[in-house]
Amino acid sequence: MSSEWLRCVVVFLVAVPLVKAAPQPNIVFIMADDYGWHDIGYHGSEIHTPHLDKLSASGVRLERYYIQPICTPSRNQLMTGRYQIHTGMQHSIIWPCQPYCVPLEEKLLPQYLKEAGYSTHMVGKWHLGLYKKDCLPTRRGFDTYFGYLLGSEDYFNHTQCWHIPPKKRFCGLDLRDGEEVATEYAGDYSTELFSQKAVNIIEKQQSNKPFFLYVALQAVHAPLQVPDKYLEPYSFIKDLDRRIYAGMVSAMDEAVGNITAALQRTGHWENTVLVFSTDNGGQTLSGGSNWPLRGRKTTLWEGGVRGVGFVAGPLLNQSGTVNHELIHISDWLPTFVALAGGSTNTSKPLDGFNVWPTISYGAASPRLDILHNIDPLYFDDTPCLGRTPRPLASGDRWAKSGFNVSIHAAIRFSNWKLLTGDQGCDRWFPRPGENTSEWRQISEEPQNPVRLFDIVNDPEERNDLSDQFPTVVNHLLTRLYNYQKTALPIIYPGEDPRCDPSATGAWGPWT
């Protein structure tokens, strides 16, 4: 053995020491419901969010983080890592009596994490289907579950009522502990109840086994309900809906604080990655605000799809930072599976990316584009001011791309965002407490079926550049066309009256 070769070996071993593999981190994902862009303290809100502000300030705030514009699609993409066009769920949400769920052949996030050795737990709102037992959370990878299978429940008595035209109206309890109906929690406010259940789970975890905890809070979705104690700081808010909504946000902020405190108290915090995310933009009809972004929940405008989100925990390498890289809700599955040391190689093709290097180290995002959606069945059932949406102008000039521009769709590529078809409520709602008439101004002209924005420099989507950059438009329409060729047929069955919960008094599987 030459002395030169030996010297090289010694230098290599000194320069590159052997590193023991890091332990698998606990993963806690907290999802808010209908939480608006403007409704967190660090975005200038009048609503107090001290726990969220402090937690995010010590972590990484995600300022170009995107979700879907309504409940089920966001949860679907979180759980599958795949765009909704690739699971057949590109239209609307799962309504209480629709007999379908996330396709059973789709492998969900907790299933990957269980394979990697994690215990898996869920508290809160499922909203991914319940018509048969195989659709339930406990059959899709969660060891334990406590929460709602549907959405929009009463916060105190946990019931849900649903109407099937013309005359059928069904009401029942919607609260489960595992697969059993939970009847003993009447009067418990769901935000407080869910946070306490999450705390109980954390307190039972052993330090030698990693865990995944998904807390899908009902807050701050309608109905607007909150204990009086949370309203007291907001007497200055004149609008009643906004005042109640603010109280609901404060209750949610306290819940996140309690969950975080439990992680710290039990010693789990030092090995935990915590993510906070909204599921879609705020609903301006129920007290939410996305100011200064355009639109609201249900739309593909930034107010519907640009979400409040941050990552916290001691495992971050660049804490106390603000991240402006492109990140999408479908990215959490591959990111978490990578952190867990698992593999997605045997899964269906994912649309998400591992963005941990982007979040923790500040690397460039691996993501160049986001398909916000392609939904040929879309219609806006909550038009601005109660008026019928304006008709679309002719899109013949864009026919060369092959994409039908009358279809409700949007795509983000680099700094560009393209929207096609009817985009629903397209207003800029005023900042809460301000009285402006801008959002009430309605043009009588037909809608342009194609709109292009430089979303980095124009995040409020005020300057349509489609006429100035036709080459960019055609490029993005071609990308939409290629995406559409990969889309599965839409799953959206009619409602089944056999869903009637009257026989048992509770919503649950009926087939």
Q: DSSP letter string over 69-120?
A: SSHHHHHHHHHHSS-GGGTT--SS---TT----S-TTSPPHHHHHHHTT-EE
Rounded to whole angstroms, how far apart are CA atoms 71 and 331?
A: 17
Identical fold for domains 26-367 and 371-485, yes or no, is: no
Give yes or no for a contact between 86 and 333, defined as CB atoms under 8 angstroms apart: no
Low-confidence ranges of the chain (pLDDT < 70): 1-22, 385-389, 436-444
Distances (CA, A) of 94 to 21, 158, 175, 254, 330: 42, 19, 17, 30, 19
Please report, for the chain, the start and end positions of each structural domain, with discontinuous segments joined by +: 26-367, 371-485
- Measure the CA angle with vertex 291, ends 289 and 293; round to 5°: 115
Strands, E, within 369-443: which ranges? 369-375, 408-413, 416-420
Rounded to whole angstroms, how far apart are CA atoms 334 and 457?
A: 30
Give the DSSP letter string of 240-308.
HHHHHHHHHHHHHHHHHHHHHHHHHHTT-GGGEEEEEEESS---GGGT---TTSS--TTSSSHHHHB--
Give yes or no for a contact between 451 and 418, defined as CB atoms under 8 angstroms apart: yes
In this structure, what are the phi and psi dihedrals at residue 311, rounded to the nearest 5 degrees? -125, 140
The arrangement of secondary structure in 371-485, i.e. its CATH architecture, is 2-Layer Sandwich (3.30)
For 26-367, CATH number out of 3.40.50.1220, 3.40.50.150, 3.40.720.10, 3.40.50.1000 equals 3.40.720.10
pLDDT in the model for residue 436: 66
As annotated, the active-site residues are 71, 127
Cβ neighbours for 61, distance < 8 A, ≥ 6 positions apart = 42, 309, 310, 321, 322, 323
DSSP 381: S
- According to DSSP, the residues that pair with 181 across neighbouring strands are 176
Structure tokens given for 422 = 């009817």
Rounded to whole angstroms, how far apart are CA atoms 278 and 66?
A: 9
pLDDT in the model for residue 21: 47
pLDDT in the model for residue 176: 98
